[in-house]
Amino acid sequence: METPDLVVPVREGSVNEQLRYAVRSWAANLPHRRVWVVGHRPAWLDNVGHIPTRQAGTKYQNTTTAVRAACEHPDVSPRFLLMNDDFFVMQPQDGAMPVFNRGPVREVEPYYEARASGMYLRGMRETRRLLEDLGHPDPLSYELHVPMPITTAGMLDALDIGKDLDVLHKRTLFGNLAGLGGRRIEDVKILHRGPRFQKDAAFLSTMPDAFAQGMVGGFIRRRFSQACRYETRRRR
């Protein structure tokens, strides 16, 4: 199977240190053909493909626009890994990236109900109901902070089907429509500054504050202290 591209939607902004250390981790540990940045390209990024997009909507709409743009681009590999700018690959990945899920959506919803997550929770429920209407009575959640294998044709079909949802959970819609299945894991997102995180984890993800001020951020920066091939030479 062809080595996949990595596709990462990037919000507008000038620096994005999480992305810097994320691409260092990908260069070190995640086999891939090419990195594609969709949306904003920070000035320090080098040797990547760039697909500009207009970021005029909510963050959910902007990322959906970015994923569609990547799927429609003729040079993006037909099978790619969908990334976020805060996905850190902490251990070498040999062979094809496995598929992970978060368990049934109905079991994930209470976590976000407790956090009063507003639009995100509404989008989760609406995506679940859409899948139920399409014949998936107990859909799985794929809203994890780990790389996700995507096919361009399958994702475009999912985006067309979910086009009327303004907070579409596109990973979940695609994963269920494609019948990906996969292994259930807990999400790897670290929300706090403290020491409670798995230091031998294969994947980590952080909130901006946890990355900038927390122990997990220091751990990641020490692990990937050297610049990689995706950074301009002006940066150490």
Q: What is the mean pLDDT of residues 78-101?
A: 96
Q: What is the mean pLDDT of residues 144-154?
A: 98
Query: Where does the pLDDT of residue 233 fall: very low under 50, low under 70, confident under 90, or very high at 90 and above?
Result: confident
pLDDT tops 50 at residue 138:
yes
pLDDT tops 90 at residue 21:
yes
Task: Look at residue 88 and give its three-state secondary structure.
Answer: strand
Does residue 228 form part of some domain? no
Q: What distance in Å separates the CA atoms of residue 70 and residue 7, rounded to the nearest whole number?
A: 7
- CATH assignment of the domain containing 73: 3.90.550
Does residue 230 form part of some domain? no
pLDDT tops 90 at residue 67:
yes
Which amino acid, 210? A
Does residue 231 form part of some domain? no
Task: Identify the pLDDT of residue 13.
Answer: 82
| φ/ψ (deg, to 5) at 120 | -65, -45
Task: Identify the pLDDT of residue 116.
Answer: 66
Q: Which domain holds residue 185?
A: 5-223
Question: What total of structural domains would you count in the chain?
Answer: 1
Does residue 53 form part of some domain? yes
pLDDT tops 70 at residue 234:
no
Are the CB atoms for 33 and 3 separated by under 8 Å?
yes
Q: What distance in Å separates the CA atoms of residue 172 and residue 123, rounded to the nearest whole number?
A: 11
pLDDT tops 50 at residue 235:
no
Query: Where does the pLDDT of residue 15 fall: very low under 50, low under 70, confident under 90, or very high at 90 and above?
Result: confident
Does residue 67 form part of some domain? yes
pTM, two decimals, is 0.95
Cα dihedral 33, 154, 189, 224, rounded to 10, equals 0
Does residue 77 form part of some domain? yes
Q: What is the per-residue pLDDT across 180-215, written as a single tens digit (0 to 9) for each?
A: 999 999 999 999 999 999 999 999 999 999 999 999
Does residue 235 form part of some domain? no
Tell me 63's DSSP state.
Answer: H
pLDDT tops 80 at residue 142:
yes
Q: What is the percent of the chain where pLDDT is above 90?
A: 93
Task: Identify the pLDDT of residue 212.
Answer: 96
Does residue 233 form part of some domain? no
